[in-house]
Amino acid sequence: MIIQTSGLRKDFTVRRKVGRLRRERHVVSAVDGVDLAVAEGELLGYIGPNGAGKSTTLKMLTGVLTPSGGEVSVCGLAPVPQRTTLARRIGVVFGQRSQLWWDLPLRESFALLRHVYRVPAGDHAARLNRCRALLDLDEFLDTPVRQLSLGQRMRGELTAALLHGPKVLFLDEPTIGLDVLSKQAVRSFLGELDARGDTTIVLTTHDLADIEKLCRRLVVIDHGRVVHDGTLSDLQAAYRSKRRIVADLDAPWPGGTVAGATVERVEADGLRVTLTLDGATAGEVVARLAGEVALRDLSVLEPEIEDVIARLYRAAVPG
Amino acid sequence: MADGPGTRAAYRKLVAAQVRSQTQYRASFLMDLIGSTVLTLIDVVAVFVLFSVNGSLGGFGGREVLLMVGIASFAFPLADLAVGNVEWLPFYVRTGLFDAVLVRPLSSLGQLLAMDFAPRRIGRFVQGLVIYLIALVVAPVDWHAGTAVLAVLAPLAAAVFFGSLFVAGATVAFWWIESGEIAFAFTYGGKDFSTYPATVFGGFFRRLFAYGLGFAFVAYLPALALLGRPDPLGVPTWLHWCSPLVALIAAGLAALFWRTGIRHYRSTGS
């Protein structure tokens, strides 16, 4: 296991104002006993609502924050005591915290990082060339970082995090706020990196397309605890998300029921009906439907991940 | 700070990058340089005005006090040049930018100092050096091998002492972000204290600043050693030579405080 935690905890003390001068101290557990095991080469999606403890976990894994309790090891190292050794073996992209030099051209940031990480010139050039090709860096390599668009900067950040050939790449919201094209560029770049199999990737995101396209394994946390650990389809099965059939009809829907499905919605003056599958297969329901009404058009909708996640979050709220 | 030629090269590159970024704003860089030079000149004039008015201070002649002024006004800008930029720490802590510092394979303090190196502070440093050299020539120094070594070590030790104060003062930001002014009370206040002979200050205040916080070791006691004079306040002569040791202790404490501070770094949301 390249990443292993058990009972990982982070408590914060917050002072809340009560009355004019008095303040009360509260201890809040941002991360409350997280057990995690990630094998080499995995791509893990670490998701959860705002304030669930995603970033805090990532910061403990990278040696930024000192855990309040529990065990943590990354690449066989203890992140805080062995921070500088670990830093050479991991790459980090924190969406909001730039690793780049604001006033210098992107190219110079990359050159500086070569010295900071002491990367042999040949390896550095090879990795940089790969990123230049895959992320289209050439058009803005000589632009000062402060003048880059967010999408350009994020492509720069990704490159910066990979120039020293890390074993593990941590990404905190890498696609947040990006335009569609940049999102796709980042996503397909990560997909390609994952396919090569020599970098373990841990990704936090709110972007459902990121989750669907990239993450074979999902760990969902809420209120600092892991509430799901498995594949996306496990998640959908566990939270009973259902497939839907949308049918366009020649004549208005006569009403009534269809065995094995529930009528969810009737629209367009009765000419469009949406059914939720309840145990029956799509084929069975379509056959029954065709026996009763004249069908013009049909589509089957897969459960939307928004829906799954929303159910999950609702289920996770402690009662 | 980890050693090795590779690490030193990394810091050198970081400093060079910072100088390059600063010179991008050429006009502002020039204004800074002019401003600091003017300020230092005013400081020097103030010292000479002080002595033209007052021939003796706390039982010490003008040329003897000039030596104390010289050590303090050379050491302080030296410390300010080397580690004064640690005053940016509250900004790094408040914005969470300190995260980016902590994920790089270099000492966090070392990076902060290198990345925010302020070349415009060189002006004050050069002025301080000139004042100290003048003081060494003018003051009645009891020259022998020991004092020659101390003449070199004393301002360096004082700079280490001030530097430790800068670091310790900034470290408070890990717990309490709006801590800047408190730190200034000790750094700038301590600098002003050390510029005068300890004899001019009153009882409790003197005991606290001179011995409790160690400011007597910045300029007063080493100046006594250089001049070969006993302390009118009765501090044993061997202690006059101990400022390098005191500086090392201060640096050790500051480093320890810094390490503790980092463990209390809370970062910011997301």
**Which of B1, B7, B14, B103 to probe the A interface (max A CBs under 10 A)?**
B103
> How many residues does the structure list for chain A?
319
The pLDDT of residue A157 is 93
The pLDDT of residue A121 is 93
The SS3 of residue B172 is helix
- pLDDT tops 60 at residue B2: no
Higher per-residue pLDDT: A39 or B183: A39
Q: Mind listing the pLDDT tens digit for each residue in B46-68?
A: 766 766 666 677 788 878 888 99
Around Cβ B26, how many Cβ atoms within 10 Å? 9
Q: pLDDT band at residue A122, thresholds of 50, 70 and 90? A: very high
Show residues of chain A in contact with B270, CB under 8 Å.
Answer: 50, 55, 95-96, 172-173
Show residues of chain A in contact with B266, CB under 8 Å.
Answer: 12, 65
Q: Mind listing the pLDDT tens digit for each residue in B215-270?
A: 999 999 999 999 999 988 888 999 999 999 999 999 999 999 999 999 888 877 65
Cβ separation B21–A94 shorter than 8 A: no
The pLDDT of residue B4 is 66
How far from chain centre, in Å, is Cα B144?
27
Give B229's DSSP letter.
Answer: -
Q: Which of A238, A213, A236, A224 is nearest to A43 (CA)?
A: A213
Highest-confidence range of A238-242, B206-210, B265-269, by mean pLDDT? B206-210
**Mean local confidence (pLDDT), A252-272:** 79
* pTM of the entire predicted model: 0.80
Highest-confidence range of A69-78, B114-123, B191-200, by mean pLDDT? A69-78
C-beta of residue B238 within 8 angstroms of C-beta of residue B65: no
What is the CA angle B220-B221-B227, rounded to 5? Answer: 90
The pLDDT of residue B69 is 87
Written as six digits, the tokens of A156 are 């720069």
C-beta of residue B94 within 8 angstroms of C-beta of residue B177: yes
Q: pLDDT band at residue A251, thresholds of 50, 70 and 90? A: confident
**Mean local confidence (pLDDT), B31-40:** 74
* Chain A CB within 8 Å of residue B259 CB: no
Of A59, A101, A102, the CB nearest to B267: A59
The pLDDT of residue A286 is 82
CA distance A269 to A273: 10
The SS3 of residue B232 is coil
Of A12, A104, A118, the CB nearest to B20: A104
Homologous superfamily assigned to A3-237: P-loop containing nucleotide triphosphate hydrolases (3.40.50.300)
Q: Which of A37, A41, A46, A36 is nearest to A207 (CA)?
A: A46
Q: Mind listing the pLDDT tens digit for each residue in B101-140?
A: 999 999 999 998 888 888 777 877 888 888 899 889 988 8
C-beta of residue A141 within 8 angstroms of C-beta of residue A107: yes
What ipTM score was computed for the predicted complex, to two decimals? 0.77
Same fold, A3-237 and A242-302: no
| Residue A109 phi, psi (nearest 5) | -60, -45
CA distance B85 to B104: 19
Q: Which residue of B has its CA nearest to A96?
A: B270
C-beta of residue A100 within 8 angstroms of C-beta of residue A106: yes
Written as six digits, the tokens of A173 are 């919201």
What is the residue extent of each domain of chain A? Answer: 3-237, 242-302
Higher per-residue pLDDT: A284 or A165: A165
The pLDDT of residue A120 is 93
CA distance A125 to A313: 45
CATH number of the A242-302 domain: 3.30.70
The nearest CA of chain A is from the CA of B97 a distance in Å of 6
The nearest CA of chain A is from the CA of B265 a distance in Å of 7
- pLDDT tops 50 at residue B41: yes
Percent of chain A residues topping a pLDDT of 70: 93
Q: pLDDT band at residue A312, thresholds of 50, 70 and 90? A: low
Show residues of chain A in contact with B97, CB under 8 Å.
Answer: 97
Write the single-letter amino acid at A19: G
CA distance B160 to B75: 8
- Put simply, the chain B residues between 16 and 55 with a CB less than 8 A from any chain A CB are 17, 20-21, 24
C-beta of residue A207 within 8 angstroms of C-beta of residue A280: no
The pLDDT of residue A298 is 85
- pLDDT tops 50 at residue A107: yes
Q: Mind listing the pLDDT tens digit for each residue in B142-177?
A: 999 999 999 999 999 999 999 999 999 889 888 887
